[in-house]
Amino acid sequence: MTRPSPSTRSGIATQAPGIPADLHLHSNHSDGTERPAEVMRRAHDVGLRTVSLTDHDQISGWEEAATAANSLGMTFLPGMELSVRGAKDTLHLLAYLFDPDNAPLMNEVRRVREDRLTRARRIVSRLTPTYGITWNDVTACTADGVTIGRPHIADALVSAGVVSSRAQAFDDILDVRHDYYEPLYSPSVVTAVRLVVAAGGVPILAHPITGPVDSALSTERIAQLVEAGLAGLEVGHRDNTPDGRQILSAYAHTHDLIVTGSSDYHGDGKPNRLAENTTDEAMVERIIAQGNGATPRYPAVGP
């Protein structure tokens, strides 16, 4: 399918000059608190014209989101945020425009989602003696089929009155350093990058430097990831440190990588505001040019 030129994609411009994109949004198909259509409505309300839905290890929100986005005149890029294993801890890899029927990628995603269930049950069983919450309390705050994670356990702790917010739960009880913590099965970041590329997708490392620079993504590591097919870096993200952003910008320059900025909106689940960081149109075009496993969903051509 040939892609219409920007001026003819729709009756209204899909992305007017100066209106950037927010390509990292979560719905209640993972740990966001709003339905995909509601996320799209709010994105439109703040003036966004190009969006993606990037639920954790999950693509089930695409159809609802794409339909809503297009009906509001927005371009929708199918996306996902994959849980992956870094050298020491879990990292997140954004993936855009991959083939949702690609078996090697989607089997791995399914494996991560299944392990999330087992792992969440283990965490909850460790919490039960101290805080009294049970697996039923978690499922009571979680719709069927969603990618379950610590945020849903946090919701159960909030409901039980143990903490007042998800943030407070993560500050202590659900922190990785706590005894209650249980790691998650996930592919190595190099494996995940290769899987996304093989599925025709565009892999972009999410919020890559959030802590001390001396333990951050090294020059050697970024070269290895680029070699595996890493396409870009999410430089504009509230969790990247100021030093981290500088390092990431330098890496992007050295390796000619796509640079994105995003909100990582989670509805009421996090304080992140829609469009608080955004991606320039030129970078959106690069993502679209590289992704060939799925097509962007453009709004219908107007009258």
- Binding-site ranges for Zn ion (CB under 5 A): 81, 264
Contact residues for 89 (Cβ-Cβ < 8 A; gap 6+):
176
| CA angle (202 as vertex; 200, 206 as ends), nearest 5 | 145
Widest Cα–Cα separation across the chain: 63
Q: Which does 113 bind (CB under 5 to 8 A by kind): Zn ion, Fe ion, ligand AMP, none?
A: none
Per-residue contact string for residues 244-283; x = within reach of Fe ion by CB under 5 A: ----------------------------------------
Give backbone dihedrals phi and psi of 9, rounded to 5 degrees, phi first. -65, -30
Position 170 contacts ligand AMP (CB under 6 A): yes
Distance CA 73, CA 297 (A): 10
Position among 61, 79, 149, 293 found at the interface with ligand AMP (CB under 6 A): 149
Q: Please list, in sequence order, all residues whose beta carbon lies within 8 angstroms of the beta carbon of residue 238, skipping any fewer than 6 positions away.
A: 264, 272, 276, 277
Question: In 3-state terms, what secondary structure has residue 96?
Answer: strand
Neighbouring CB atoms inside 10 A of 164's CB total 10
Q: How far is the CB of 79 from Zn ion (least distance, A)?
A: 10
Should residue 31 be labelled a site residue for Fe ion when binding is judged by CB under 5 A? yes
Q: Which does 55 bind (CB under 5 to 8 A by kind): ligand AMP, Fe ion, Zn ion, none?
A: none
Subset of residues 82 to 121 that bind Fe ion, contact rule: CB under 5 A: 92
24 in contact with Fe ion (CB under 5 A): no
With binding defined as CB under 6 A, does residue 167 bind ligand AMP? yes
Residues of this chain that interact with ligand AMP (CB under 6 A) are 31, 56, 83, 149-151, 166-167, 170, 184, 269-270
Residues of this chain that interact with Fe ion (CB under 5 A) are 31, 92, 206
